[in-house]
Amino acid sequence: MNETIHPNELIARYQEPLYWHIRRLVVSHEDARDLLQDTFLQAFRSMDQLRDPGAVKSWLYRIATNLCYRHLQRNRIVPLSTEELSAQLLERLEASTYVDFERDAELRFQQALLRLTEHQRTVFTLRYYDEMSYEEIARVLDSTPGSLRVTYHQAVERIKTYLRTEQTMI
């Protein structure tokens, strides 16, 4: 295990932001708790593989993101289109007891996020909520900063379009 990083420090520093990152991807509070625990377990088991202690944040987010993708894939009975997966995640959101349905604007924003592709949603949440640079996101998703800028812009445009459409329906 890398001696410059103590497990308790990792948990104290990253537990809450990782929980919310995971939660935004899988929606379910219960699944997010389980995946957070799995993230830390996997991180502790493979700590000796971390070459750069300065990259621990992107390393943890990469583990968490990959676990979320596997979880979503594993829980699909049949392969789903983006629209079918979005509908499934929206159902989870609406069934959640951890959502404040009195906050209409926030709820509509979450609904807009769930209409993005998995990749767009991941890029958007890492950039918008976790305030990661495109370089950090590139390490998490094994991509290039340029392609991530495009993906983020597309996600923002889809969110804006959804919110404008929803606003005119109200």
What CATH number corresponds to the domain at position 150? 1.20.140
Residue 2 lies in a domain: no
Check if the beta carbon of residue 50 is closer than 8 Å to that of residue 56: yes
Check if the beta carbon of residue 132 is closer than 8 Å to that of residue 14: no
Number of domains in the chain: 1
Residue 109 vs residue 70, higher pLDDT: 70
Residue 87 lies in a domain: yes
User: pLDDT tens-digit profile of 111-163?
Assistant: 888 889 889 999 999 999 999 999 999 999 999 999 999 999 999 999 999 88
Exposure string of 45-61, with b = 16+ CB inside 10 Å and e = fewer, is: eebeebeeeeebbbbbb
Residue 1 lies in a domain: no
The contacts of residue 1 (CB under 8 Å, 6+ apart) are 44, 47, 48
Reduced to 3 states (helix: H, G, I; strand: E, B; else coil), residue 113 is helix
- How far apart, in whole angstroms, are the C-alpha atoms of residue 46 and residue 60? 11
pTM higher than 0.85 for the full model? no
- How far apart, in whole angstroms, are the C-alpha atoms of residue 25 and residue 103? 20
Residue 135 lies in a domain: yes
- Place 95 in a pLDDT band, splitting at 50, 70 and 90: low
pLDDT, residue 78, reads 44
Residue 123 lies in a domain: yes
pLDDT of residue 165 exceeding 80? yes
Residue type, 32: A
Residue 48 vs residue 67, higher pLDDT: 67
- How far apart, in whole angstroms, are the C-alpha atoms of residue 70 and residue 89? 15
118: containing domain: 7-169
Residue 46 lies in a domain: yes
- Determine the average pLDDT of the residues in 19-42: 93
Residue type, 68: C
